[in-house]
Amino acid sequence: MDAAMVAVSRPVSATGRAWSATAWLCLSVCILAQIGYPLVSGGTRDTLVIVVVLSGALTMAADLCRRRGVGRTVAICVGVMATGLAFEVVGTATGVPFGSYHYAMGRLGPAVASVPLLICVAWFTGALAVWRVSAVLPLARPTRVVLAMVALVGWDLYLDPQMVADRLWVWDAPGAPTLPGIDDIPLTNYVGWLAMGAVVFTALTFADPGHCDPSEVGAPGGWFVWTWLGSALAHLVFLPGLTWSAPWGFVVMGVLGVPAAVTAVRHRSTPRQRYPS
């Protein structure tokens, strides 16, 4: 058995509880901003996008501080964001690995090499949430990495159509193969997300290893469930023109979400087992 899966019990400190409360508070801000998103337009909508991304990242950072401490959190945050920036700079300059695209400047805050830094923050948010939810499944590390990669693509199946519809970024790939119903985004984009996920999640097997029971997932689990289910509802009902992204995102993100939910249900009916965070 993987050493990271050996059961262990340890108390939660007052500091840990404070970090947990902070994570849930930040998640609440993130959810409220997302609820407001379909109700506004123009610059106000762009502002809410920024709030959603920053509050989501703070959610993941607070949860990491709870589990790993401030120093490890800073290292992971910088590492994931730097990796995201590198992928994005190369991607916008060369079209590899995502395909040819460019960002709208001046709408998402400061940019480096025509890549808004907020995009790197978003990579951190999604990757850490997916990775934390995958911790509830007692899988070997390579299997966990693959499952997290697929779930990350599932998140993008919501994210990309929504942001492209708002022209926050634009794909320059006329005639490229696409998924049925999602005509503006080339299949190469999802290949790029898989590649980014492979790099980040492989690194996280060393920087943030370990498994946990579902009751210990915390606010990242709340972010995952809200994004998985809430985005499907929003795309079906509240965001015109995004109907097809709802089933795509729901099914692909569910590759991780369904087994994690099954594990959570089983956990409630069996003796509690704790894993190292």
Nearest to 172 by CA among 230, 236, 91, 110: 91
What is residue 173's predicted lDDT score, i.e. its pLDDT?
85
Tell me the residue type at 273.
Answer: Q
Task: State residue 121 phi and psi, 5-degree precision.
Answer: -65, -40
pLDDT at 115 over 50: yes
What is residue 276's predicted lDDT score, i.e. its pLDDT?
52
Three-point CA angle 223, 225, 226, nearest 5°: 65
What is residue 113's predicted lDDT score, i.e. its pLDDT?
97
Residue pLDDT, tens place only, 3-45: 344 334 456 789 999 999 999 999 999 999 999 999 999 999 9
Task: State residue 29 phi and psi, 5-degree precision.
Answer: -60, -45
What is residue 151's predicted lDDT score, i.e. its pLDDT?
98
Pull the structure tokens for residue 244: 């097809």
Cα 15 from chain centroid (whole Å) = 25
Residue pLDDT, tens place only, 149-197: 999 999 999 999 999 999 999 999 888 999 999 999 999 999 999 999 9
Residue pLDDT, tens place only, 193-247: 999 999 999 999 999 999 999 999 999 999 999 999 999 999 999 999 999 999 9
Cα 67 from chain centroid (whole Å) = 18
Q: How far is CA 184 from CA 10, 90, 161, 162, 217, in A?
A: 49, 21, 8, 11, 35
What is the average pLDDT across 105-120? Answer: 97
